[in-house]
């Protein structure tokens, strides 16, 4: 199941709500956060341990009690990759985490760190082959070509780029560029961007920045977004906190539906596509309107067998509200190409009830 909704990074637990875990958890619940990422390791050492007391387990328990998904995050250096991987495995297992983010930064731009990345990922995945793992690194891979992107992403389920728009106020443009750069890379992993919710010197994000960042994420069809960092926001940017808290990432199924349709199209399976619709769902083209599962199935069978056989479909853009979604797409197939795909969906209770599609095959 895809990670959805709003999330927040926690760095040092004692600086968040004075370290009172129930206050942190209650505020996370009130703010509508679906997941929280806590720093649990640094290099080969556990993190958020003070005077011999590990502050992480009670916070994990308090968050889980409120049905908030708990991830750990781990700054890795690559000097002792086997030890770092062992620490990651230990913290995941002992804390009962539900996901794990790898913070990869300047150290992994040093020569030879591709070997360290391979050793770390192999050791982690041999122990935990199916556990959700994310890469959390730079926003523009083109700026940091020495980072072993492919090695890390091959072993990850998600990509959490740090889209920090410091000294600027154009988060939408920066997030769009970030997504485009990663979409051009192999392998591509679902993106859950991390936005700026901190001050740096005299610069700070505005509430308009925050709204633009989250809306752009949803317009791009991203299922979730995170922010850095809890204590900094709470201390220095109360208006930004309120904006994030009040933003209604409502009905995430709508915001993921465009990608689910594209995935179904790429499966070439009429059943997978039809299962996205309500039993009385309506499918509309300029030539006709059909209703019901049998008719929708027949449409997809014709699409896959006759109109666009063996096609590869690509999502270009997506915009959504709480009940509808509009997206554009392209396709290449043995029967021709589509450059102008344009669809509108009406969604109710996670199912498509109305679907209008328009495209031309050339």
Q: How confident is the model at residue 253, as a pLDDT?
A: 59
Q: Are 56 and 50 in contact (CB under 8 A)?
A: no
Q: How confident is the model at residue 1, as a pLDDT?
A: 53
Dig out the tokens for 300 from the structure: 């997809």
Helix (H/G/I), strand (E/B), else coil: 63: helix
DSSP summary character for residue 235: H
Q: Are 48 and 38 in contact (CB under 8 A)?
A: yes
Residue 183, CA distances (Å) to 47, 101, 180, 188 in order? 33, 20, 5, 6
Distance CA 105, CA 358 (A): 44
Q: Are 12 and 56 in contact (CB under 8 A)?
A: no
Q: How confident is the model at residue 250, as a pLDDT?
A: 67
Q: Is the dihedral of CA 268, 269, 275, 280 positive or negative?
A: positive
Helix (H/G/I), strand (E/B), else coil: 31: coil
Q: Is the dihedral of CA 214, 32, 6, 10 positive or negative?
A: positive
Q: How confident is the model at residue 215, as a pLDDT?
A: 83
Dig out the tokens for 94 from the structure: 């002992």
Q: How confident is the model at residue 252, as a pLDDT?
A: 53
Distance CA 338, CA 75 (A): 44
Q: How confident is the model at residue 343, as a pLDDT?
A: 94
Q: Is the peptide bond before 187 cis (omega within 30 degrees of 0)?
A: yes
Q: Phi and psi for 309 in degrees, rounded to 5? A: -65, 140
DSSP summary character for residue 191: B
Q: How confident is the model at residue 266, as a pLDDT?
A: 96
- Return the H-helix or E-strand segment holding 60: helix 56-64
Residue 345, CA distances (Å) to 1, 174, 289, 339 in order? 21, 27, 14, 19
Instruction: Report mean pLDDT in 10-residue bins for the chain, 362 residues.
Output: 88 98 98 97 98 98 98 98 98 98 98 97 97 98 98 97 97 96 94 97 94 88 93 97 86 70 95 96 93 96 96 84 82 96 90 95 96
Report the first-to-last Cα separation within the chain, whole angstroms. Answer: 36
Q: CB 145: neighbour CB atoms within 10 A?
A: 8
- Domains present along the chain, CATH in parentheses: 5-249 (3.20.20.80), 256-358 (3.10.450.50)
Tokens 């901190």 appear where? Answer: 198
Q: Where are the alpha helices (DSSP H) in the chain?
A: 21-30, 56-64, 81-95, 113-127, 149-154, 171-183, 207-219, 230-236, 238-246, 252-267, 270-274, 293-302
Largest Cα span, the chain: 72
Distance CA 28, CA 35 (A): 9
Q: Is the peptide bond before 117 cis (omega within 30 degrees of 0)?
A: no
Q: How confident is the model at residue 321, as a pLDDT?
A: 67
Q: How confident is the model at residue 254, as a pLDDT?
A: 64
β-pair partners for 354:
282, 346
Dig out the tokens for 259 from the structure: 């990608």
Write the burial class of residue 294 (CB in 10 Å: 0-12 exposed, 13-18 middle, 19+ buried). exposed
Dig out the tokens for 179 from the structure: 């997504």
Q: How confident is the model at residue 251, as a pLDDT?
A: 55
Distance CA 176, CA 140 (A): 11
Q: How confident is the model at residue 359, as a pLDDT?
A: 96
């Amino acid at each position: 199941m895809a990670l959805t909704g709003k999330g927040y990074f926690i760095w040092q637990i004692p600086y968040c709500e004075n370290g009172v875990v129930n206050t942190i958890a209650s505020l996370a619940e009130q703010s509508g956060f679906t997941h929280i990422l806590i720093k649990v390791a640094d290099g080969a050492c556990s993190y958020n341990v003070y005077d011999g007391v590990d502050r992480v387990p009670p916070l994990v328990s308090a968050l889980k009690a409120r049905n908030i998904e708990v991830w750990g995050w781990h700054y890795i250096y690559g000097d002792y990759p086997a030890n770092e991987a062992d620490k990651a495995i230990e913290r995941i297992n002992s804390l009962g985490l539900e996901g794990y983010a790898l913070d990869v930064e300047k150290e992994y731009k040093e020569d030879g760190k591709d070997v360290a990345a391979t050793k770390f990922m192999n050791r982690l995945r041999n122990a935990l082959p199916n556990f959700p793992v994310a890469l959390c690194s730079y926003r523009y891979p083109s700026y940091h070509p020495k980072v072993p992107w492919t090695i890390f992403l091959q072993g990850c389920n998600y990509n959490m780029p740090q889209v920090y728009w410091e000294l600027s106020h154009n988060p939408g443009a920066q997030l769009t560029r970030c997504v485009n750069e990663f979409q051009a890379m192999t392998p591509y992993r679902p993106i859950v961007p991390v936005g700026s919710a901190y001050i740096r010197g005299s610069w700070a994000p505005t509430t308009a920045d925050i709204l633009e960042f989250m809306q752009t994420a949803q317009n791009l069809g991203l299922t979730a977004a995170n922010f850095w960092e809890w204590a900094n926001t709470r201390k220095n940017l109360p208006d930004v906190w309120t904006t994030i808290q009040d933003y209604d990432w409502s009905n995430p199924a709508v915001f993921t539906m465009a990608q689910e349709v594209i995935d179904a199209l790429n499966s070439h399976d009429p059943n997978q596509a039809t299962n996205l619709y309500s039993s009385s769902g309506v499918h509309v083209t300029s030539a006709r309107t059909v209703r019901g599962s049998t008719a929708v199935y027949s449409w997809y069978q014709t699409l896959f067998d006759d109109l666009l056989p063996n096609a590869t479909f690509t999502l270009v853009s997506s915009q959504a509200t709480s009940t509808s979604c509009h997206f554009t797409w392209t396709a290449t197939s043995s029967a021709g190409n589509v450059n102008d795909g344009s669809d509108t969906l009406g969604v109710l209770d996670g199912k498509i009830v109305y679907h209008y599609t328009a495209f031309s095959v050339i």
